[in-house]
Amino acid sequence: MKGQAFFRRFGYAMNGIITAFRRERSMRVHGIATLGVFAFLAITGAPLLWWVLITLAVGLVLVAEMANSALETLADLLHPGQHPEIGVAKDMAAGAVLIATIVAVVAGAAYLLR
């Protein structure tokens, strides 16, 4: 796997993103929300700084959701039965998504209240 050409590695990454959207309902929900947020920024004529801030916040949510999905997929494959420590790991990953979402909501609220 190591030492492969950039475009091959890029293809793997794109496949991961596409797979996440195909398999994970929450990724699709976040994706639709992202489109709504960007449409709102466009309609309201948001300055460039707000586009950057909101994009970073939304990107954080998407990254956290993909990491959560990857961890859950791997954990379920390695240990299909319930295990308390796997449950803890999954809960922590879900907590990361929640924190990222709260950060994004705060950024959006700051834009609305500016």
Residues with catalytic roles = 65
To 10 degrees, the CA torsion angle through 85, 87, 92, 98? -170
Give dist(CA 110, CA 45) in Å, integer: 15
